[in-house]
Amino acid sequence: MTEDGTQITEIRKRIAFNRLRDHIFWIAGLLSTLVGLLLLFTLMIDLFTDGASRLSYKFFTSFPSRFPNEAGILSAWVGSFLVLFVTALAAIPLGVAAGIYLEEYAKKNIITDIIEINIANLAGVPSIVYGLLALGLFVYFFKFGESILTAGLTLALLILPMVIMATREAIKAIPNSIREASYALGATKWQTVQHHIIPYSTGGILTGIIIGLSRAIGETAPIITVGALTFIAFLPTSPFTSEFPFISFKWLLDPFTVMPIQMFNWVSRPQPQFHVNAAAAGIVLLVMTLLMNAFAIYIRYKFRKRIKW
């Protein structure tokens, strides 16, 4: 009888101890999460108190200037937008095609393994290395010059591994039964990919692409290496012309600047008013990134709802 009693208290003790441990981890986890959130929050509050006063319509429509109150981010945000556009055009088809090939077509052998390992490694290469590669390849070898095209392609290289990995993860999530059903009905590999694999993985792929792009928008190092300029008080050539064929691609070879570089330049100036400008540009960049991430989440949610298997 007494032995049973001690056993029960023993078990109860253990349960209490385990519960305590559970609680401790719960608190530690919560604190760790809060540290990250708090940092982001402090950063945002700091940026907003510094820069919010400068945010106005004029700030978006003015060129940089030596007078801090007249300076704006027009050439910077247009530059960022165009560079990102080129990046998306180059990285999406290449990345998605490579991802589909590796998942659906490539035979599982040593060469595929090597390719896979290398893609995973590429994702971890510091961005400045891509900048140096692009300087040699695009600027000097292909003679694209220090242009929007060069910058866009450089960033495309940078996010390519991310797009490939996102594509593969999205495709991996599709149950094999879908493929088997498709083949059973006599579909070819491409028909299966076209009608099933791509539509079902679109959500995941788009999420990966947008997260890649939101990383690209903040990149500074590789863009400096390929020759982004500091003072640009004009816009690239308009892509629309009044003459046939109404579309011009001259802007691809125009010199450019982007948001992070404009910020960097303002931060390194002596006048404190320019630091306010830098904070304001920081807010714009942060909001752009957050919006892109929010869009990614929305897309994922929408596509997930549509697919039922």
Residue 202 CA to residue 217 CA, distance in Å, equals: 22
CB of 270 to another protein, least distance (A): 4
Separation CA 302–CA 208 (nearest Å): 15
Residue 120, H or E segment: helix 110-122
CA 37 to CA 233: how far, in whole Å?
A: 37
Nearer to another protein (CB atom), residue 88 or residue 171:
88
Could you tell me the smallest distance in angstroms from the CB atom of residue 307 to another protein? 13
Least distance CB 165 / another protein (angstroms)? 18
Whole-angstrom distance, CA of residue 240 vs CA of residue 250: 10
- The nearer residue to another protein, 199 or 218, going by C-beta atoms, is 199
Q: Judged by CB, which is closer to another protein: 7, or 248?
A: 248
Could you tell me the sign of the dihedral formed by the alpha carbons of 69, 70, 74, 75, in that order? negative
| Closest separation in Å from C-beta 62 to another protein | 11
Contacting positions for another protein (CB under 8 A)? 65-66, 88-90, 92-93, 96, 149, 194, 198-199, 202, 227, 229-234, 237, 248-250, 252-255, 265, 267-272
**Residue with smaller CB distance to another protein, 90 or 166:** 90
Q: How far is the CB of 12 from another protein (least distance, A)?
A: 58
CB of 65 to another protein, least distance (A): 6
Closer Cβ to another protein, 9 or 268, answer by number: 268
Decide: residue 265, CB within 10 A, 0-12 exposed, 13-18 middle, 19+ buried. buried
> Are the beta carbons of 292 and 207 closer than 8 angstroms?
no
CA 172, 177, 180, 181 torsion: positive or negative?
Answer: negative
Smallest Cα–Cα separation from 68: which of 280, 273, 281, 279?
A: 273
Between 32 and 271, CB nearer to another protein: 271
